[in-house]
Amino acid sequence: MATSVNITEFLTLSENHPVLDVRTPSEFAQGHIIGAINFPLFTDEERKIVGTIYKQQGKQPAILKALEIVGPKLHEYIKAAIKVNKTETFLVHCWRGGMRSSSMAWFLETYGFKCITLKGGYKNYRRLVLESFKEEKNVVILGGKTGTGKTLILKELKNQGEQIIDLENIAHHKGSSFGALGEEPQSSQEQFENELSFHLSKINKEKECWIENESRKIGRNILPIGLWEQMQNANVITVNLPIEERIRYLVDEYGKFSKEDLIAATKRIGKRLGGLKTKDAIEALERGDNKSAFEICLFYYDKTYNYGAEQRPTEKIINYEFEKLNPEVIAQEIIKWKK
> If DSSP codes are grouped into helix, strand and coil, which group holds residue 222?
strand
Residue 108 · residue 1 · CB < 8 Å: no
Angle CA 308–169–271, to nearest 5: 45
Question: Has 94 been annotated as catalytic?
Answer: yes
Which residue stretches of 85-188 are H helix? Answer: 99-111, 121-132, 150-159, 167-171
Buried b (16+ CB within 10 A) or exposed e, 13-23: bbeebbbbbbb
Q: Which of 94, 115, 209, 297 is catalytic?
A: 94
Residue 116 · residue 180 · CB < 8 Å: no
Q: Which has the closest alpha carbon to 301: 260, 249, 337?
A: 249
- State residue 223 phi and psi, 5-degree precision: -65, 135
The CA-to-CA distance between both ends of the chain, in Å, stands at 56
**Active-site amino acid positions:** 94
